[in-house]
Structure 1
Amino acid sequence: MKWIRRTALLCAAVLAIGGCGGAGGDDGGGGSSDSKKVTIEFWNIATNEPLKSVFANAIRDFQAKHPNIEIKNVAIENDAFKSKLTTTMQSGKAPDIFHTWGGGVLKQQADAGLVKDVTEDIASWPQKFTNAAIAPYQFDGKTYAVPHDIGMVGIWYNKALFKKAGIEQPPATWSEFIEAVKKLKAAGITPIALAGKAKWPGHYYWSYLAMRIGGLDALKQAAETKDFTDPAFIEAGRKLKELVDLEPFQKGFLGAAYDTADGQAATMGNGKAAMELMGQWAPSVQSSAGKGIGDDLGFFPFPAVEGGKGTNTEALGGGGGFAVGAEAPPEALEFLKFLTEETEHRKAVESGGVLPVLQGEEDAVKDPNLAEVAKHLAATTGFQLYLDQAFPPAVGQEVNDSVAELIAGTETPEGVAKAITETAKSE
Structure 2
Amino acid sequence: MNTNYSSTQKENRLVVMLGVIVVLSLILGACATPTPEKVVETAVVKETVEVPVEVTRVVEQPVEVTSTPAPAGDPFAMNCAPADFSGGPVTLSFVWWVGGGDSPSDKLFTDALDCFNKKYEGKIKAEVEYVPGQHDYVEKLKTDYAASGNLPIIVTLKRDPTLADLWLKNGEIIDLKPYFDASTEWKEIALQSSVELNTIDGQLVAAPDAWVTPVGIFYNTELFAQAGITQFPGSWEAFFDAMDQLKAAGVTPLSLHTEDTGWSAMLVFEALMARSADCKAFLDLKFPDDFNLPCMVDASRDTGRLFAYSTPDAIGSAYPLAANNFLSGKTAMMPNGPWMIGDFRDPSKSSPGFGDKIDVALYPGNIAVDDTGLQLGDWAITKGYSQAEQDAAAKFIEFMLSREVVRQRVIRLGSTAPNLAMTSEDLALLDPLAAKLLTLVQVNHAPVLPNYQGQWNTIIQNETIVQGLPQLALGNITAEEFVQQLTDAAKEGN
Do they fold alike, i.e. is TM over 0.5? yes
Counterparts of 2:118 and 2:181 in 1: how far apart (Å)? 26
Q: Which moved more, 1:316-325 or 1:37-46?
A: 316-325
Counterparts of 1:404 and 1:330 in 2: how far apart (Å)? 46
For 1:252-263, list aligned pairs within 5 A. Answer: 252-259=313-320, 263=321
Counterparts of 1:341 and 1:75 in 2: how far apart (Å)? 22
Question: 432, 444, 458: which one pairs with 1:393?
Answer: 458
Counterparts of 2:397 and 2:326 in 1: how far apart (Å)? 34
In the alignment, what sits opposite 2:490?
424
Deviations 1:85-104 (A, max 9, x none): 33234343333234454684
Q: Per-residue deviation at 1:352?
A: 3.3
For 1:132-147, list aligned pairs within 5 A. Answer: 137=198, 143=204, 144-147=206-209
Identity of paired residues, percent?
22
In the alignment, what sits opposite 1:41?
94
Deviations 1:17-40 (A, max 9, x none): xxxxxxxxxxxxxx9634x43333
Residues 1:278 and 1:53: Cα distance change in structure 2 (over 3 Å): closer
Deviations 1:200-245 (A, max 9, x none): 2222232322232334223346955x1111111111112223333x
Residues 1:303 and 1:133: Cα distance change in structure 2 (over 3 Å): farther
**For residue 401 of structure 2, what is the amino acid of its counterpart?**
T
The alignment partner of 1:153 has SS state of strand
Deviations 1:389-415 (A, max 9, x none): 212322333552323431343332111
The alignment partner of 1:350 has SS state of helix
Residues 1:237 and 1:140: Cα distance change in structure 2 (over 3 Å): farther
Do the aligned partners of 2:155 and 2:382 also contact (CA within 8 Å) in 1? no
**For residue 290 of structure 1, what is the amino acid of its counterpart?**
K
Residues 1:140 and 1:159: Cα distance change in structure 2 (over 3 Å): farther
Structure 1 gap segments, 5+ residues each: 1-30, 305-311
In the alignment, what sits opposite 1:83?
139
Deviations 1:116-169 (A, max 9, x none): 332342233214123466677555675423336531232111111111211111
Q: Per-residue deviation at 1:291?
A: 1.1
In the alignment, what sits opposite 2:282?
218
In the alignment, what sits opposite 1:156?
218
**For residue 183 of structure 1, what is the amino acid of its counterpart?**
Q
Counterparts of 1:103 and 1:139 in 2: how far apart (Å)? 17
Q: Which moved more, 1:161-170 or 1:366-375?
A: 366-375
Q: Per-residue deviation at 1:181?
A: 0.5
Do the aligned partners of 1:315 and 1:380 also contact (CA within 8 Å) in 2? no
- Say yes or no: does 1:374 pair with 2:403: no
Counterparts of 1:396 and 1:196 in 2: how far apart (Å)? 11
**C-alpha RMSD of matched pairs (Å):** 3.1
TM, length-normalised to structure 2: 0.69
In the alignment, what sits opposite 2:350?
291
In the alignment, what sits opposite 2:480?
414
Counterparts of 2:476 and 2:86 in 1: how far apart (Å)? 55
Structure 2 gap segments, 5+ residues each: 1-84
In the alignment, what sits opposite 2:231?
169
Counterparts of 2:165 and 2:438 in 1: how far apart (Å)? 27
TM, length-normalised to structure 1: 0.78
Q: Per-residue deviation at 1:184?
A: 0.6
In the alignment, what sits opposite 1:15?
none
Deviations 1:327-385 (A, max 9, x none): 25221110111122112332333333754364324853411122223234445564433
Aligned length: 383
The alignment partner of 1:252 has SS state of helix
Q: Per-residue deviation at 1:178?
A: 0.3
Deviations 1:249-272 (A, max 9, x none): 12322243213xxx1112112222
